[in-house]
Amino acid sequence: MIQDGYELLDSGGEAKLERFGDVVLARPCAQAVWKPQRKALWQTADATFDREGGNHWHGRSRLPKEWTVRVADIAFRLSGTDFGHLGIFPEQRAQWQWIRETLRAEKAATGRTLNVLNLFAYSGGSTLASALGGAEVCHVDASKGMVQWARGNAELNKLTSHPIRWIVDDVHKFMNRELRRGRKYDGIILDPPTYGRGGNGETYKIERDLSETTLRLCRALLSNRPLFMLLSAHTPGHTPIVLENILRQALDGLGGTFSAGEMCLTGGPGTFELPSGAYVRWTAR
């Protein structure tokens, strides 16, 4: 494993060139509308992915079936999927660092054990950051395969004995059950999809569901001494200001502070930052 396991090497022409450990990949990126800075570097790609006439890897045979990288001091197992994803969204690494540092600081200050809920949890980056920060975690995703992938990442990080609940379920169904059980959480993390489909045919649309249902349930699940809520999204139009306004309305009356910004893929000096979504953080104090 390489300690600094991710690097954005270049972007432009609606594509991005990235290093994941020793593997260099070129993949589509609609927001990279400028020209590439380092054209010769693109020839070093081990494989490329495009969506012209469907999803296609070129040079996939040159990729390892699986490989491991360390990002934000968290180990991840990667694999090239048929949709071009790898099992990691490295634009979240600043959020993973913030989660871990925030939880550790609260633990040091108060000594209390914190409970964190991670929704739409994918391969578990925020779950692992929360666990490494000392929290007990509930990881929820509708995909059984992704939950298994996340559990494998927990093993890589020697967290198999850490208190993590692994839940395969529709997010809203699970949250309603938690409310009936009387469970509460000190921190809630969510990265909802633009559109998602559950294993039993449930659908999720961010414009329809985020404000009216998801965040309403999140607020109801906050403990009497909440620490934070972290909302991120990759949906076009859901800018930092939009997310902050939505979360401010959902948490109206709770006080606290808000900070919002763009999530970016980053590389070495001189490499253009590549916006890849937005986030807003609420802290209770």
CATH code of the domain covering residue 33: 2.60.40.1180
pLDDT of residue 1: 37
pLDDT of residue 3: 46
Q: List the single range of 3-12, 61-70, 194-203 with lowest mean pLDDT.
A: 194-203
Q: Which domain covers residue 45, as residue numbers?
A: 6-78
> Who's near 171: CB < 8 A, 6+ residues apart?
119, 120, 140, 142, 192, 204, 214
Token code pair at residue 87: 């099992």
13 with 109, same domain: the answer is no
Q: Confirm if 89 and 95 have CB atoms less than 8 A apart.
A: no
pLDDT of residue 19: 97
115 with 237, same domain: the answer is yes
68 burial type by CB count under 10 A (0-12 exposed, 13-18 middle, 19+ buried) = middle
Tell me the per-residue pLDDT of 66-99, one tens digit each, with 9 for 90 and over.
999 999 999 999 999 998 999 999 999 999 999 9
Question: What share of the chain has pLDDT > 90, as a percent?
Answer: 92
Interatomic CA distance for residues 265 and 16, integer angstroms: 10
Tell me the per-residue pLDDT of 23-77, one tens digit each, with 9 for 90 and over.
999 999 999 999 999 999 999 999 999 998 889 999 988 999 999 999 999 999 9
Token code pair at residue 212: 């009216």
Residue 84 falls within a domain, yes or no? no
pTM given for the model? 0.95
Nearest to 183 by CA among 128, 224, 147, 142: 224
Say which CATH number the domain at 244 has: 3.40.50.150
Residue 262 falls within a domain, yes or no? yes
pLDDT of residue 202: 81
